[in-house]
Amino acid sequence: MNYARIALSAVVAFVVSIPVGFLVNDVLLKGLYDANRTVMRADAAVMANLPIGFVFLLIGFLAFAYAYAKGYEGGSGAVEGLRFGATVGLVVLGFGIVWQYVLYPITISMAIAIMVDSFVELCLYGAIVGAVYKPVAVAAKRPVTV
């Protein structure tokens, strides 16, 4: 595995996620967030917790890129990354995101929006990681002459 490429692909996806997160959460889904405001932290509390979120987001991207590299099968990077992102997206939806609706009194519209957004973003980040990551070149085996 190429650890430098893993780190680079994770950082690139992390950097892209910042404006994507702003666009999705503060523009596209603003109305849904406003409608569910009573079950959410106040804006000041969210801002105070952002550093924690960003640290764990970067750790998540490093794990995501590492898992991609471990399973890399040699195909087209972006396409393979997209498939990987979709697979991770389904795992995240099944184990985590749907439980936000089960546990917290958010509207079904908010739950569906979070699920669709999470899946689409993970596909995007998978494609980015796949496009940036390049495996260590495997040396061609030379025939042994006797």
What's the pTM value of the predicted model, to 2 decimals? 0.87
Domain residue limits, the chain: 3-132
pLDDT of residue 140: 44
pLDDT surpassing 80 at residue 144 = no
Query: CA-CA distance, 107 to 121, in Å (whole number)?
Result: 21
Reported as a single tens digit per residue, the pLDDT across 35-90 is: 999 999 999 999 999 999 999 999 999 999 999 999 988 878 899 999 999 999 99
CA distances from 4 to 7, 9, 10, 132 (A): 5, 9, 10, 11
